């Protein structure tokens, strides 16, 4: 009994193991002094997660036996063979002169703000963190703000304090520091934290919010709520882009994030039709998928980017189908002879269209097949809703086979794994002609014709406009 109690106390204290970091930011925004304390267990080995960070770290110090010692990193790591007197460590970071631009994984300047990867600023424990293990407090100069993808635990108006979560140290994340516009809004039960820079161009925050809200509402419609609780949105308005959204990526280090450049001159109509934000937001329907299996995550997002725009009314159902057929045709044309889908996924540069649209072909096949087998009660949406509710485990990376196995289990079918087994080693793009015929789609991808066939009801249902009211506010 006493042993059991002891074990219970031990495990309780393990959960309370919280590392306290403070980052003081200089008015220049390029100088930082960091103080990190490890009250429960001092890591023997700390790393930065970026080779470039080592050159930026200065004055790494700790006190041993009453004497302050300077520590030197060796082979990319900082070793602490003895426990410092106060269990704390200090260091400084000097980012030096920064180029103008938006390198989300490094450090660049945008007007009065900086984008900076936390990997350049922090020494962190080498082994993986458990959720909530690291608390980071910012001490900011007057007028300076910080945007991070992490959970903010400080009161409004107080110095910002974040809990970083399990994936923050090792997965990509980006901070925005300096002067920028912040606004928060909710869609489908999720909190969106928009950080909008005032350079190199300017755009009204209300327009950016409307652009995101429309996409987020459409994604929330898939499962009845937005799939994650919080999204950091870093938006940089730019001049003279050829598209409304010339660049956008998702990141998941300690929380969901979207980093985007937005054409400040884009019309309201162009923002309403934009597929990029829908694509990025739709990524959060799935957990992080290993990059070797990017065909799955990119495929599902590419499928939904068109389906959801039709459902939200941004496109007509016919235009939604034309866009989807056009994408799938590009995947077919982008399939190089003799290259299997697995090979293509390992060499993304030359195989982008193949990768994106092979996974979209699976999404279309699964969505139609689930609807056909269940008389319309089941769909890709209902299976993803079940998956998000029970099994998403956002803090781990999934292989395609694991994820497809779960989708099979949740749908009571084997259609996801069967498709995978058929296509992953195939050198051909999936043959969609039989499916198109059943859906009543004839003609060519450039000039499709839609008619009546055995599954034309499913074709209409897939892209049918939906009332936004069914989404949790």
For Zn ion, the binding residues (CB under 5 A) are 298, 301
Residue placing its CB nearer to Zn ion in the complex, 190 or 278: 278
Residue placing its CB nearer to Zn ion in the complex, 102 or 411: 102
What's the closest the beta carbon of residue 9 comes to Zn ion, in angstroms?
A: 46
Find the helix or strand (DSSP H, E) in which 401 lies. Answer: helix 400-411
Residue placing its CB nearer to Zn ion in the complex, 90 or 298: 298
What's the closest the beta carbon of residue 86 comes to Zn ion, in angstroms?
A: 45
Residue placing its CB nearer to Zn ion in the complex, 107 or 301: 301
Neighbours of 61 (CB within 10 A): 15
Structure tokens at 407: 């989708």
Residue placing its CB nearer to Zn ion in the complex, 293 or 378: 293
Residue placing its CB nearer to Zn ion in the complex, 122 or 281: 281
Instruction: Report which DSSP code applies to 26.
Output: P
What's the closest the beta carbon of residue 279 comes to Zn ion, in angstroms?
A: 6
Find the helix or strand (DSSP H, E) in which 212 lies. Answer: helix 205-223
Cα(184)–Cα(143) distance, integer angstroms: 18
What's the closest the beta carbon of residue 359 comes to Zn ion, in angstroms?
A: 10
H helices of 231-348, where?
A: 268-273, 276-282, 294-312, 317-333, 341-346
Q: Residues 6 or more apart from 226 whose CB is under 8 A from it?
A: 187, 188, 189, 190, 216, 219, 220, 281, 284
Residue-by-residue DSSP string for 142-157: TT-EEE-SSEE-SPTT
Cα(336)–Cα(320) distance, integer angstroms: 27
What's the closest the beta carbon of residue 257 comes to Zn ion, in angstroms?
A: 13
Find the helix or strand (DSSP H, E) in which 230 lies. Answer: strand 230-238
Strand 256-263 with 230-238, pairing? parallel
Residue placing its CB nearer to Zn ion in the complex, 214 or 297: 297
What's the closest the beta carbon of residue 245 comes to Zn ion, in angstroms?
A: 12
Residue placing its CB nearer to Zn ion in the complex, 298 or 367: 298
Q: Residues 6 or more apart from 283 whose CB is under 8 A from it?
A: 250, 297, 301
What's the closest the beta carbon of residue 350 comes to Zn ion, in angstroms?
A: 18
What's the closest the beta carbon of residue 151 comes to Zn ion, in angstroms?
A: 24
**CA-CA-CA-CA torsion for 414, 418, 420, 423, nearest 10 degrees?**
-160
């Amino acid at each position: 009994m006493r042993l059991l109690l002891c074990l219970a106390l031990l495990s309780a204290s393990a959960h309370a193991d919280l590392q306290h970091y403070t980052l003081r930011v200089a008015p220049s925004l390029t100088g930082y002094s960091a103080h990190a304390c490890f009250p429960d267990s001092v890591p023997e080995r700390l790393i930065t997660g970026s080779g470039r960070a080592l050159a930026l770290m200065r004055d790494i110090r700790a006190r041993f036996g009453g004497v302050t010692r300077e520590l030197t990193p060796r082979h990319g790591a900082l070793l602490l063979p003895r426990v410092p007197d106060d269990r704390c460590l200090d260091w400084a970071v000097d980012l030096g002169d920064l180029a103008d631009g938006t390198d989300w994984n490094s450090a660049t300047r945008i007007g009065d703000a900086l984008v900076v990867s936390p990997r350049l600023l922090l020494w962190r424990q080498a082994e993986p963190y458990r959720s909530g293990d690291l608390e980071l407090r910012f001490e900011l100069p007057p007028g300076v703000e910080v945007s991070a993808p992490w959970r903010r635990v400080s009161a409004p108006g107080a110095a910002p304090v974040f809990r970083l979560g399990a994936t923050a140290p090792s997965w990509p994340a980006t901070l925005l520091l300096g002067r920028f516009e912040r606004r928060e809004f909710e869609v489908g039960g999720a909190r969106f934290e928009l950080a909008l820079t005032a350079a190199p161009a300017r755009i009204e925050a209300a327009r950016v919010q409307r652009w995101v809200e429309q996409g987020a509402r459409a994604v929330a419609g898939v499962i009845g709520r937005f799939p994650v609780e919080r999204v950091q949105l870093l938006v940089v308005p730019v001049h003279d882009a050829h598209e409304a959204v010339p660049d956008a990526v998702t990141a998941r280090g300690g929380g969901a994030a979207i980093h985007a450049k937005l054409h400040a001159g884009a019309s309201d109509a162009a923002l309403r039709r934009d597929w990029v934000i829908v694509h990025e937001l739709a990524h959060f329907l799935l957990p992080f998928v290993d990059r070797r299996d990017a065909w799955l995550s990119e495929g599902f997002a590419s499928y939904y980017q068109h389906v959801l725009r039709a459902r939200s009314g941004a496109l007509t159902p016919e235009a939604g189908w034309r866009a989807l057929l056009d994408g799938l045709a590009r995947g077919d044309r982008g399939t190089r002879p003799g290259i299997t889908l697995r090979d293509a996924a390992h060499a993304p540069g030359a195989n982008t269209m193949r990768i994106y649209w092979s996974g979209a072909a699976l999404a279309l096949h699964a969505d139609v097949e689930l609807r056909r087998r269940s008389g319309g009660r089941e769909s890709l949406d209902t299976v993803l809703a079940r998956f998000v509710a029970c099994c998403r485990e956002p803090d781990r990376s999934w292989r395609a086979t694991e994820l497809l196995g779960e989708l099979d289990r949740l749908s009571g079918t084997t259609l996801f794994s069967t498709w995978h087994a058929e296509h992953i080693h195939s050198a051909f793009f999936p043959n969609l002609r039989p499916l198109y015929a059943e859906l009543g789609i004839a003609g060519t991808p450039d000039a499709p014709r839609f008619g009546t066939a055995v599954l034309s009801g499913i074709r209409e249902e897939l892209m049918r406009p939906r009332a936004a009211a069914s989404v949790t506010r």
